[in-house]
Structure 1
Amino acid sequence: MKRNATAVWNGSLKEGDGKISTQSTTLQDTQYSFKSRFEEGVGTNPEELIAAAHAGCFTMQLSAYLTEEGFEVGSIETKCDIDLVDFTVISSHLTVNASVKGISDEAFQQQVTKAEKNCPISKLLNAEISTTATLK
């Protein structure tokens, strides 16, 4: 399975603007800019999209692990905070609130730790990055 997204940027960093689109078209020419990334402008930004991806991936992974262990998942809500400091993403913090029937806190925490380490986006954040570039 492969998924993709496309970003197009026009102009300089501060005055330019861009659009992001996803293969699913959930995002279609979605605006992003210097202001939406580093100030309070309208649009999305890469860190927000990473936060959404990490929260969504982790939540699904946790649900899978809990279900595999025989627990009935009512709901899981995960907020992800991405910290960008000096133009470097330094951390991703997940805050989880869940309703799971019949599980002890200790067992729940074990499954949370397992999901944190094993969801594909957690693994990506520690992965090798590669690039193919063509100058037109």
Structure 2
Amino acid sequence: MKKQATAVWNGTIKDGKGHLTSQSGVLKQTPYNFVSRFENGTDTNPEELMAAAHAGCFSMKLSADLTAAGYHPEELTTTSTITLDKGVITKSDLELIAKITGITDEEFQKIAKTAEETCPVSNAYNLEIYLKAILL
């Protein structure tokens, strides 16, 4: 499988602006710019998209691993926070809140850690990953 997205950028780094379009159409000329990346703008930015990809991939991998182990995940809510420090993306903090009936916290932590380590996006990112997993 191959997926693609296209970025169009016009202008200088600080004064320019761009937009992103994804193959699925979920992103359709979605704006991004310097202010949204390095200050407090309201448009998207690469780090936000990385965070969405990591949270989504990890949640799906964990669901697959839990199902394979005989559990039925009711809800997995994952937040990824990507850190950009001095122009370098250094870290993804994953915070997971899970509702799963019939699993011990010890087993849950073990499966969650394995999912974090084997998630395709985790493996694609060359950065520190920290997982905080909470079982309700």
TM-score (norm 1): 0.91
More strand by share: 2
- Partner residue in 1 for 2:16: 16
**Aligned positions, number:** 127
- C-alpha deviations, 1:91-134, integer Å up to 9, x for none? 0010000001110001000111111011110011039xxxxxxx
- Partner residue in 2 for 1:126: 126
Please identify runs of 4+ aligned residues in structure 1 that moved more than 2 A. Answer: none
Shift of 1:35: 0.4
Q: RMSD across aligned C-alpha pairs, in angstroms?
A: 1.0
Q: Which runs of 5+ in 1 are unaligned?
A: 128-136
How high is the sequence identity, in percent, across the aligned residues?
Answer: 49
Greater relative contact order: 1 or 2 (C-alpha under 8 angstroms, separation 6 or more)? 2
Tell me how far apart the structure 1 counterparts of residues 70 and 4 of structure 2 sit (CA, whole Å): 34
Shift of 1:77: 0.1
TM-score (norm 2): 0.91
Q: Which runs of 5+ in 2 are unaligned?
A: 128-136
Tell me how far apart the structure 1 counterparts of residues 36 and 47 of structure 2 sit (CA, whole Å): 10
- Partner residue in 2 for 1:70: 70
